[in-house]
């Protein structure tokens, strides 16, 4: 039996930009026998809890902790940045669904093109064996067959379009506009800008606009004014899966959305207007460039890097470390249960509706005490 272990999980682990609920959500990704975990506010807090040269530092997201990072540099400590990976869960992360994969990055963070990340390093430098590429083919086939994307709670339906009236069908994907991937990877563009640019460049296309599910849920921001969608989109899709929208489309246009990666897996033409992790490798038509990305990759090499080599996975059933194939299998079983069991679906959806709103209320109450939740 191949037991998965991670050296970064050994000894003492110090977590920054973490609330107790977030730690509960992802604690399994940091399991190691006898290790110790500490949630810290700042460097002084960490030092009071024993931060030393036998420690690893983890920061959620891209927020900077200058004193912590300077201490790490002076003492030779590793700093890892944490973010969701690319096949996450059935329900939404903003609805408190636990993730089944994480990006844990020692160089940067995959959605920030300003500097290298571990994923970019793999894409630029890894020598892919024939066995790994065959495995990547199988993983991609399973993702396509199961119609997976990052979130997997929307039903799959066929979209009917009278193609004789239009020269092509384009899917434009909306994003959460205060998301860090937009802040650092979209170079000042937002959802409205993207939709208007696509319409201007494609006057005879049938354009489907799909808002981000976190925006539709009311948990995050990113709505486009109705005047713009009326002028630029033929259809707005809110209730069916991204897989269904990609399936009917000839092209997918996006700022930095992971939906562009989903479309590449399905061998669609993808146009990027920001600089997502999958752009710059010869597989997409890119509005921007990244000078560090000089290699041309095959689709299987992109899949091997992004879904096999880079993320850390846990089993949806047991919470133990596993490979991507096991996560995909168990995620499929959970998704089928979600679609086929009305009571379970209601429970998941109710949790996704109530918990973010309860959290906002509790945060407002605790804000004067500067307590993070």
pLDDT for the residue numbered 248: 97
pLDDT for the residue numbered 179: 80
Identify the three-state secondary structure at position 13: strand
The answer on pLDDT for 346 being more than 90 is: no
Residue 201 parent element (H or E): helix 191-201
Identify the three-state secondary structure at position 248: helix
Tell me the CA distances in angstroms from 235 to 170, 200, 226, 227, 231, one per residue in order. 10, 16, 12, 13, 11
pLDDT for the residue numbered 361: 76
Cα 216 to its chain centre, rounded Å, is 17
DSSP code, position 309: I
CB–CB of 274/288 below 8 Å? yes
pTM exceeding the 0.75 threshold for the entire prediction: yes
Topology of domain 1-82, CATH:
Cobalt-precorrin-4 Transmethylase; domain 1 (3.40.1010)
- How confident is residue 336, by pLDDT bands cut at 50, 70 and 90? confident
Residue 105 parent element (H or E): strand 101-105
State the pairing for strand pair 312-314/285-286: unpaired
Tell me the CA distances in angstroms from 249 to 205, 206, 207, 329, one per residue in order. 11, 9, 9, 27
Dump pLDDT digits (tens) for 81-124: 999 999 988 766 555 678 999 999 999 999 999 999 999 999 99
pLDDT for the residue numbered 218: 56
CB–CB of 330/316 below 8 Å? yes
- How confident is residue 242, by pLDDT bands cut at 50, 70 and 90? very high
pLDDT for the residue numbered 365: 73
- How confident is residue 161, by pLDDT bands cut at 50, 70 and 90? very high
Dump pLDDT digits (tens) for 294-306: 999 999 999 999 9
End-to-end Cα spacing for the chain:
39
- How confident is residue 1, by pLDDT bands cut at 50, 70 and 90? very low
Lookup: tokens for 35: 């290790």
Task: Give 336's contacts (C-beta < 8 A, 6+ positions apart).
Answer: none
Query: CA-CA distance, 196 to 91, in Å (whole number)?
Result: 30
pLDDT for the residue numbered 92: 64
Tell me the CA distances in angstroms from 203 to 171, 215, 224, 239, one per residue in order. 14, 27, 19, 26
- Domain extents for the chain? 1-82, 154-294
Topology of domain 154-294, CATH:
Rossmann fold (3.40.50)
* CA dihedral over 46, 101, 99, 320, signed as positive or negative: negative
- How confident is residue 78, by pLDDT bands cut at 50, 70 and 90? very high
More reliable by pLDDT, 339 or 271: 271
The overall average pLDDT reported for the chain is 90
The answer on pLDDT for 368 being more than 90 is: no
């Amino acid at each position: 039996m191949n037991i998965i272990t991670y050296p970064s999980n050994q000894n003492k682990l110090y977590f920054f930009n973490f609330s107790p609920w977030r730690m509960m959500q992802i604690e399994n990704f940091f399991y190691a026998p006898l290790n110790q975990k500490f949630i810290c506010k700042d460097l002084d807090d960490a030092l009071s809890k024993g931060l030393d040269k036998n420690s690893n530092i983890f920061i959620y997201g891209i927020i900077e902790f200058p004193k912590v990072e300077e201490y790490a540099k002076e003492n030779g400590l590793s700093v890892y940045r944490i973010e969701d990976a690319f096949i996450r869960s059935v329900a939404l992360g903003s609805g408190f669904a636990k993730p089944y994969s994480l990006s844990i990055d020692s160089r940067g963070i995959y959605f920030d093109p300003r500097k290298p990340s571990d994923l970019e390093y793999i894409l630029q430098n890894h020598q892919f064996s024939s066995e790994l590429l065959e495995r990547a083919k199988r993983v991609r086939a399973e993702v396509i067959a199961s119609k997976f994307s990052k979130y997997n709670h929307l039903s799959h339906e066929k979209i009917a379009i009278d193609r004789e009236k239009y020269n092509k069908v384009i899917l434009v994907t909306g994003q959460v506009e205060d998301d860090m991937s937009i802040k650092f990877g979209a170079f000042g563009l937002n959802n409205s800008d993207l939709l208007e640019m696509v319409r201007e460049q494609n006057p005879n296309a049938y354009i489907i606009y799909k808002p981000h599910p976190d925006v539709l849920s009311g948990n995050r921001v990113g709505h486009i004014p109705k005047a713009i969608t009326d002028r630029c989109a033929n259809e707005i899709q809110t209730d069916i899966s991204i897989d269904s929208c990609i399936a009917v489309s000839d092209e997918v246009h996006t700022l930095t959305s992971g939906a562009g990666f989903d479309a590449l897996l399905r061998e669609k033409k993808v146009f990027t207007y920001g600089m997502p992790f999958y752009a710059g490798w010869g597989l997409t038509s890119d509005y921007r460039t990244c000078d560090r990305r000089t290699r041309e990759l095959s689709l299987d090499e992109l899949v091997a890097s992004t879904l096999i080599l880079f993320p850390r996975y846990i089993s949806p059933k047991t919470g133990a470390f596993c490979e991507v194939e096991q996560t995909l299998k168990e995620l499929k079983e959970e998704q089928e249960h979600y679609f086929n069991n009305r009571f379970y679906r209601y429970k998941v959806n109710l949790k996704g509706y109530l918990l973010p709103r309860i959290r906002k209320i509790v945060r407002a109450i605790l804000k004067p005490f500067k307590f993070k939740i």
